[in-house]
Amino acid sequence: MERRRSSHRIRQFDCRTRLIRVEHLQRTPLVGPTEKMDKKRNNLSRFLYYGSRWILGGVFIYASYDKILHPAAFSKIIYNYQILPDGLINLTALVLPMLELIMGIFFWVGFWMPGTVMLSNILLVSYIGALILNLARGLDINCGCFSTSSGSSINIESILWDAAFLALSVYLTVAVFGSENSRELKQIHG
């Protein structure tokens, strides 16, 4: 329910016509509790939106760094997962880190967000699936999530971290593709 101020009349004497002209001012809405809540909600959603973008961008950039510097070691990690055919292992070791780097930059810049969030969801679901599959197989292999050096083997903690990143990515998907939120984001970005 919108509350409005009462209209005021302005009386002016018009010298040419020698008549008093009466004008009504437009009614202006008062700021009530619902408007304040909407403003707080918009600030919170803006904070969550940008925070999620920056976190995911940082995660993807950080995850790509060591893999780009050591493609042979990352290729061995992919081979140990025993999921891809041998012909795709080296190609994946070269393309996947570059894709993560580009996605991280796109998250930070806010470029091509619909495609970036969809690709992020696909990658994170596939990462979680590969981790769960190899944990169920009982293979004790290097995760390769953030580093190509040995020491970070597959465990429940790495799956939970990827699930948390997936939750942020799903939130961004809703924010980018949601009808009401997409209008708000267009207003935010101008």
> Which residues does 104 contact at the CB level (< 8 Å), separation at least 6?
56, 57, 58, 59, 60, 61, 62, 64
Give the residue-averaged pLDDT of 150-167.
88
Q: Rounded to two decimals, what is the model's pTM?
A: 0.73
Residue 116 has pLDDT above 60, yes or no: yes
Is there a contact between 104 and 55 (Cβ–Cβ < 8 Å)? no
The β-bridge relationship of strands 19-24 and 9-14 is antiparallel
Is there a contact between 168 and 52 (Cβ–Cβ < 8 Å)? yes
> Which residues does 163 contact at the CB level (< 8 Å), separation at least 6?
128
Give the model's pLDDT for residue 27.
56
Residue 148 has pLDDT above 90, yes or no: no
- Spatial separation of the C-alpha atoms in residues 85 and 96, rounded to whole Å: 15
- Spatial separation of the C-alpha atoms in residues 160 and 145, rounded to whole Å: 12
Give the model's pLDDT for residue 189.
52
4-49 pLDDT per residue, tens:
444 455 555 555 666 555 555 555 555 556 676 677 778 888 899 9
Residue 102 has pLDDT above 60, yes or no: yes
Give the model's pLDDT for residue 52.
95
- Of 161, 159, 164, the residue nearest 136 (C-alpha): 159
- Between 160 and 178, where is the model more confident? 160
User: Percent of the chain having pLDDT more than 70?
Assistant: 73
Is there a contact between 32 and 5 (Cβ–Cβ < 8 Å)? no
Residue 128 has pLDDT above 60, yes or no: yes
